[in-house]
Amino acid sequence: MTATLVLIKPDGVRRSLVGEIIRRCEAKGYKVADLKLVEPNREILAKHYAEHEGKPFYEPLMEFMLSGPIVAIRLEGERVIEGFRSLAGATDPTLAAPGTIRGDLSRDWGTKVIQNLVHGSDSEESAARELAIWF
């Protein structure tokens, strides 16, 4: 049994897609082990996105992630990290396959950074680090 961090980003919360995203995770057989609605601050986001500091998209990303509440989820299951990333779909929603969260529910809105509904940890190390930040 492994765990991953899933964030439903401000665009997902704003568009009332929280229930649908959680439904897809549970339908896949994963367990929501913890969940909370967070009004993120710059400090927590700076820890989460530390590896991107100084990159051109960093400030627009921070601005977007500070634009509204986020739902943080501790999702558990066998191979949940790669499973959720597959369920989420490609980072670019225009290229995300139909049937994925991003492929079905997101698109390019022409914003400074891609607003693609969800974040999922990319490795066991990232999951441990990110879960410690958010939970």
Q: What is the set of active-site residues?
A: 119
Distance CA(121)–CA(84), nearest Å, equals: 9
Per-residue CA distances from 121 to 5, 6, 32, 113 (Å): 6, 7, 15, 19
Tokens linked to 95: 């290229």
Distance between first and last Cα of the chain? 18
Query: In 3-state terms, the chain is what percent helix, strand and coil (to 5)?
Result: 45, 20, 40
